[in-house]
Amino acid sequence: MRDRLILLPGWGLGVSPLEPLAAALSGLDEHLRVEIEPLPVLLSAALDDWLDELDASLPDNVWLGGWSLGGMLASELAARRGDRCCGLVTLGSNVSFVSRSDWPSAMPAVTFEAFLNNFRDAPNTTLKRFCLLCSQGASEPRSLAGLLLGGAPKAEPDTLLAGLDLLGKLDTRRALQAFSGPQLHLFAGLDALVPVQAASDVLTLLPDVEVGLIEQACHAFLLEAPHELAAAIQAFLHELGDD
């Protein structure tokens, strides 16, 4: 089903941020079926538990993609499925959200730990702050943050905390190197959560994949530049279809 793309959302904000992109993609290609699937609701922060849930609920032989945490999970699921996955598209997804000694182009570990602790103490306030970070760099950041927060589903803090724990532990480098299917990784030039250097580092790690940069855009570029993202994704899919 090379004409079917499943998109997974990022942490805490639900499916709403992906809807403008899905609509833009459908407008560009009437034959492409774009579906947004919510992330699993789990109390576990174990990657295998999340992948088991996704593998059981998502159809085989489709394109997998996602935004931020969703893109990281799509990467891991693509590697698990191998030939049962048509290809991979990630949006604002670092290979490791938290910096490591061998991957410095990410959020400092001390910053992430502080965010995690703040969420434990004051989840609602911290989620609002997260929306502001997602929209930092946009032309109208407060308006964009309000859209993100307004579309966020009500969720139990414990399940959100599990997702945040998972986000802090994930390192998708091995999965991306193992997956031999086509890959497109799109980044935002003004992203306050994923340093722009990560785009170059991903290309160094994976010289045979496609890496793109939307320069004047923030982490929430799904809402800020859906048509630009859709055009990049559609061109990538179309090019592969011609091969």
Catalytic residues, by residue number, are: 68, 191, 219
Cα diameter, the chain:
52
Question: What is the DSSP annotation of 133-178?
Answer: HHHTTSSSHHHHHHHHHHHPPP--HHHHHHHHHHHHH---HHHHHH
What's the half-sphere exposure (Cβ side, CA atoms, 13 Å) at 163? 24
44 DSSP 8-state letter: -
Token pair for 185: 């990784």
Name the residue with tokens 């996602």.
66
Q: Is 225 exposed, middle or buried (0-12, 13-18, 19+ CB in 10 A)?
A: buried
